[in-house]
Amino acid sequence: MAIRPILTVPNPILKQVSKPVEAVTDDIRALMDDMLETMYDAPGIGLAAVQIGEPINVIVMDLARDGEEAAPRYFVNPEILEVDEEFVPYEEGCLSIPDVFDTVDRPKRCKITYLDYQGERVTEWAEGLYAVCIQHEMDHLKGVVFIDHLSRLKRDRAVKKVVKAEKLKATG
């Protein structure tokens, strides 16, 4: 396993639409292992493959709270089948947009289908933080980041903040 660099906005790769995975092979599992390690190191609760420069339909997630045992989840070729009509607000953040947080409204629940780490088909309803996180990560697969749901002003401000912070990091 290896920790991989996480791309930040406005990197154009983050705007790419990810491609479906043909099969859950050992290579895909190795990528998911790297993604999980990268996500834990950041730390974050979800990561899409495109965020480490691999535009394919793969997501990892762990919603365990501090002090709880790790509970990694893996999603290959996830699809949303159905969503609630009711929307709920949640303050989101993103490893590709460090130190920016803002409220996004999303359907309260969504029914998803995906292949897991073993390549088995899983179909289930997600709700609560799980619903927020899977919708946020699946946006990444479409080239969408959470600030795209905000006003243009807020979006521009967020990108400027990230660019400035990255520049400071680069110059030490």
The least distance separating Zn ion from the CB of residue 39, rounded to whole angstroms, comes to 10
Adjacency order of strands within the sheet including 58-62: 46-48, 58-62, 72-83, 109-115, 121-127
**Catalytic pick from 54, 79, 85, 137?**
137
Provide Rg for the chain, Cα atoms.
Answer: 16
Our CB check for Zn ion shows the closer of 94 and 131 to be 94
**Alpha-carbon torsion angle 22, 42, 133, 142, nearest 10:** -50
Q: What are the b/e assignments for 6-30, b being 16+ CB within 10 Å?
A: bbbbebeebeeebeebeebeeebee
Tokens of 10: 């406005």
Residues 107/127, Cβ–Cβ less than 8 Å: no
Residues from 56 through 95 that contact Zn ion (CB under 5 A): 94
35 in contact with Zn ion (CB under 5 A): no
The least distance separating Zn ion from the CB of residue 23, rounded to whole angstroms, comes to 26
The least distance separating Zn ion from the CB of residue 95, rounded to whole angstroms, comes to 6
The least distance separating Zn ion from the CB of residue 118, rounded to whole angstroms, comes to 25
Q: How many residues in the shown chain lie near Zn ion by CB under 5 A?
A: 1
| 127 is a catalytic site residue | no
Residues from 88 through 127 that contact Zn ion (CB under 5 A): 94
Tokens of 60: 């990892």
Our CB check for Zn ion shows the closer of 119 and 161 to be 161
Our CB check for Zn ion shows the closer of 80 and 119 to be 80
Q: Interface with Zn ion by CB under 5 A: which residues?
A: 94
What are the catalytic residues? 137
